[in-house]
Structure 1
Amino acid sequence: MDLSTFLVQCLNAVQYGLLLFLVASGLTLIFGIMGVINLAHGSFYMIGAYMAFALAPMFGGQLLLQLVAGVILAALLGYVLEWLFFSYLYGRDHLQQVLMTYALILVFEEVRSILFGNDVHGITAPPWLSGGVSLGGLMSYPVYNLFASGACIVVAILLYFVVNRTRLGMMIRAGASNRDMARGLGINIRLLYRIVFAAGVALAALAGMIAAPSASIYPGMGGQILIICFVVVVIGGIGSISGALIAALLVGFVDTFGKVFFQQYSGISIYLLMALILVWRPEGLRKAY
């Protein structure tokens, strides 16, 4: 493998890992703070991708405005879903949570089929993000993929700032560590849960919107990323944003280079990584970072 190919694979791994982080960060917040096993979280990634497909003709090449509009719509959807469904799952056993969220997967897939059909769709990147950056020789890397990685990094920084440097983040961390004590201090836990859930849905949908121009939009795409995101959450530690970031990048590199060097065994590479880390740190990476 020459230097240019190695660099391309590293960039692919970083982009994949950062997209995983956006989805997994919402999942780890919902799971760690609200205590709800949300099997429908991958569907929000799918909703974001189809939302990008539906909004693209309305905004033309205004990708940033399209992303902002999609995030707002996804947050509103998350707020309504928490109010209608998830607010009844707190304190229930995990079986009821699994059944409810699995039913939502079926509902989302049926609605997707009615609105968009079962064909594979695709959208093109705006003209200002078309083309590629030369990496030497005949090798180049798409400009849009660099934009996607940069956008994910900006969102990760903003998320870290909100969670660790704002009053809302303080309330989120308090609710995660001891919800009864937080409620006793006057924090509106129900409203806090709705904000957290809306943020988790928005993060997953944003990842789907960012990934849409560089990948196909197809039925069932949420189920594939959900499994990998659960791996990221387990490796990073439940409720840990920083742990999810490190775990997502690890999974991105292991999966990408596993497909390059060990194609026959690439399917088990990330699960082997999870097993090794859990043997070393059963609680995940959250206390290490």
Structure 2
Amino acid sequence: MTATEFLIGKERRVRRLGFGAMHLSTEPGPARDSSLAVARRAVELGVTLVDTAHLYGGGANEQLLAEALHPYPDELLVTTKVGVARTGPDGEWRLDGRPAVLRDQVEQALRRLRVERIELLQLHRIDPETPLADQLGTLRELRDEGKVGRIGLSEVTADELDRARRIVDVASVQNRYNLLDREHEPVLAACEAAGIAFLPWRPVAWGESGQRSEVAAVAAEAGATPSQIALAWLLGHSPVVLPIPGTARIAHLEENLAAEGVELSPAQRERLDGLCESPGDGTAP
């Protein structure tokens, strides 16, 4: 039986199947009301890991989650990401890991999420123009000040993860990864060896017609949907994988969370293992 929980940072227990809030609309009106309902339904259904970021609406997504869920249940961990800012020449989004920017985004997140400490803060991307030691050193200082509980990374290579771990304790990695896209398999292997949580973004994706047909065939055999098969495969692939599928619809949310009850046979898993488009060399886009 696949384990349904994981200890992030070896101490914070969460349900492995979480929720990504990126797709929730923050514009006033019916769409926002629906977003609030989806977030609340996720927690009602037992989700204890919700993912957001400063990039998602410049903090509007964080604000939406606070409106929907605050005061938060003790078991709920809302993780956010910093390090992408509107500091380009014409005000466009760009990677920005300068210490002052990271500090400001963390302070904004604390206010928007209505918390005194962000239990898991992830660096959205490594800024190539700022020394890694400065970026992670700032996050470490924020942790030491009690404003951050644990530190994670996003979209890193195995080498970058190794270098980061020499600077700070890394509790999580959030990379693109799914049944058909396993470019970051070396990163997942490194996370598994170290007991680091691996949060795959875009956990459900579809390839060529033959691959889609094979997934659909396994879904029919298992009495599940193709999306549930993709999520069930992830949960069984490694004990450190914590998928965070996102949706703006309650029906889709419920479908995703039901994937936890889908059991794949060894033969089905072997067929799915063979569908990989990109086995991975550890490089990030």
| TM-score clears 0.5 | no
TM-score by length of 2: 0.28
Return the structure number with greater helix share.
1
User: Which structure: greater strand fraction?
Assistant: 2
> So what's the TM-score if we normalise by structure 1?
0.28
- RCO higher in structure (CA 8 A, sep ≥6): 1
